[in-house]
Chain A
Amino acid sequence: MTLTIFRAALLQLLHDRGALLLSLFVPAVFFLIFAEIFATAASDQVQVHVAIVDEVRSADSIRLLAALNSEATVTVISGVADRDAALDLVRRGTADVALVVRADGESLATAAGLAAPPLLLLVDPSRNVAATVLSGQLQRAYFTALPDLAIGRVAELIGTEFTEFSPQQQAEIDTGLAGLRESAGEGQRGGWSFEELLEHENVAGQTAALNHIAYYAGAVAFMFLLFAAAQNAVGILDDQAAGILDRIAAGPGGVTVVVNGRFIFLVLQGMVQGTVIFTVAWLLYGVDVPGNFGAWLLISFSAAVLAAGLGLLLVTACRTRAQAQILPTVVILIMSAVGGSMVPRFFMPAWLQTLGWITPNTWALEAYSGLFWRGEPLLALLPRCAGLLGAGLLALAVSHLLARRLVPP
């Protein structure tokens, strides 16, 4: 009898394609997505896109950059005009990080922490991993490509600090030590390290932590907007099963009013959800929603329109309530994983980041990122919002066509 129950459960699973999809297909897809993300993040196969500006163009800087260019994990974006252009590339996400060999710092040959370091990294806090990887690759390039500089400086250090010297030399050492002591007294570090060559500058100013919060607020908001929209849109199928759709279809408004009415409800529901999440982000974490209220409202409205349209589309594409409980869940989970709602996009390998652009999650996230990270002006956000709105309305139009199937002709 136990085996009979086992067989009954097995048969039910095999006959329920939705349950089968959730039990077998979705876990496998999720495993693949997250394996790709974390394997890439944990391996040395991270591809870092670096915007490079050489303000010095000395023999040393050219040798260093050529060596860096030959590193497998570094993809150099060349032809960047100046520091501002590099900054812009990082803010837009075209480059993960920018490297400036700066004219207003010490030279690569003589850097000793006495002035601004010769190398400047422009870092988006959301892509700290990229900056860390690049620092390591820079060290390797430096010691590989400029051994004369590196060893010369080490020999000098040893010569001044570790060998036996003649009295005359000792006097000179004493003078040097006095000089070092004086330098130390003035807050300058003695000795030498690669760090003296390199300075990190946060392209997002002082709001690094806030950017992460803003990212997750957008990511979580949009994913839940989608789930809530699909969940509520299932009501259309409930109305169909109860005969309510049949009744309304016989009235003057027809099924059109059912879809439109539900759509407006879902948009408002999305706006309220987005407001709650960003209010928490503002009150508890200081994300500057009030300071960007107009643009935030526009993005949130556009995102709510898209989520509402997609929710309706996913549900009206189903023929039964059972299907509608599975299909939207599967699609939204996968879109959210690929689109950056679960794991930040900057952790993902390049191909997955590219793939993310086919998901609405990425479009919504990029719109929020444009506002809260990159500080894009309203005008720059308009095309993104237009994209969200357009896609949402297109999904609504298709939902109208699909909803016609829900009532018999």
Chain B
Amino acid sequence: MSALLRTEPLVVVRSARRRFGVRAALSGADLTACSGEILVLLGPNGAGKTTLLRALCGRTRLDGGSIRIAGGDPADPAVRRRIGFVPQSIALWTQLSVRHNLELFGRLAGLKRTDLQAAVADTLEWSGLAARAGDVVATLSGGMQRRINIAAGTLHRPDLLLLDEPTVGLDPVARNEVHQLLDRLRKAGMSLIMTTHDLVEAEALADRVALMSAGAVRAEDSLAQLIGRLFGSDQEVVLMLAAEPAPSIRDALRDARLAPTNEDRVWIGRLGSGLEHLPELRSRLIDAGADIAELRIRQPGLHGVYIELTGQVPHE
């Protein structure tokens, strides 16, 4: 995890509000982001992550509150030139070559003709795509297409890069390649704000995380700070059952303050002060009829933070 640059924040969001009909997509969201850091936006579907990303790139006008990027309004074209946006889908002309895509998106991002070739060559180089510059995008692997998708958003060397789930659908190897790419951008001093549903990815990449629910940012800090604040010295207990629990066992698990994960057989909870409570918990569950396959304790992670702050189990 890179050191945070303790300078004036590049991005400052204050009380951002936006409604779509009766639905409040943003209901007073606050956020800051600095240069040279990766800020990961987390939250359940409908929490307002995508609306916040769109507002950050000047696409969505706020009903109230403010967004400042390098001191300016993102609706201003001059400010927009300092922002890069990477959509969730492979937003490329897949029948054209890598080079043609980069040239075209460079121009659309506001690059002057005189600066274009140097920017394309530079981008091809650092993204590791130089050898495939002449290849038609459609013929490349999914991982490579993802890298081009990101590279196409960085040709104009933005100060702020917004990424909407940049690794969705990738295998671990390709995902790792994308992570390396994002790390390079961070080290180059760029500010990256990205959304993801992958908590492992968030733990690996994020300098800071911002957890959103119901249109607001519930917490925004480094993972260590959040864990310390939410769990103190508490540990996390992970219970794996041998079979899917019956309703009566579910009730008993909830009574023991355990919460289900996406897998019905895996439950997670907090353990007051330490190991001394574990035998007591185990006895209570066995008495309730639970068939325990595994019971262990661990240091709390993002998963626990997510549940604590959003009250929901993350969709990983």
Contacts and interface: CB of A to CB of B under 8 A. Distances in A.
Check if A and B associate. Answer: yes
B108 A408 contact: no
A251 B84 CA distance: 8
B165 to A, nearest CB: 11
A38 B109 CA distance: 56
A247 interface: yes
A24 interface: no
A257 B91 contact: no
A246 interface: yes
Nearest to A409: B60
Interface stretch (B75-83, B199-207, B271-279): B75-83
B306 interface: no
Contacts of A252: 77-78, 80-81, 109-110
Nearest to A242: B91
Interface string A238-278: 00001110111111110001000000000000000000000
A209 interface: no
B92 A242 contact: yes
Given A243-B89, A243-B91, A409-B20, A250 B59 contact: yes
A339 B189 CA distance: 61
| B contact face: mostly helix, strand, loop, or mixed | loop
Contact of B90 (A243, A250, A251, A407): A243
B310 to A, nearest CB: 24
B87 interface: yes
Contacts of B105: 247
Given A249-B59, A409-B20, A244 B93 contact: yes
Contact of B80 (A243, A250, A257): A250
Contact of B91 (A244, A253, A408, A409): A244
A-side interface size class = 10 to 19
A252 B59 CA distance: 10
Interface in B56-111: 57-61, 77-78, 80-81, 83, 85-94, 105, 108-110
B89 A248 contact: no
Contacts of B179: none
Contacts of A249: 59
A242 B108 contact: no
A257 B58 CA distance: 16
Contacts of B108: 247-248, 251, 253, 257
Contacts of B85: 246-247, 250-251
Contacts of A248: 108
Contacts of B178: none
Contacts of A407: 59
Contact of A242 (B57, B81, B89): B89
B100 to A, nearest CB: 13
B153 interface: yes
A-B complex: 9 closest residue pairs judged by Cβ atoms: A243-B91, A243-B89, A250-B85, A243-B87, A250-B57, A252-B77, A247-B91, A252-B80, A252-B110
Given A242-B91, A247-B85, A249-B59, 9 more contacts: A242-B90, A243-B88, A243-B90, A244-B91, A247-B86, A248-B108, A250-B54, A250-B58, A252-B109
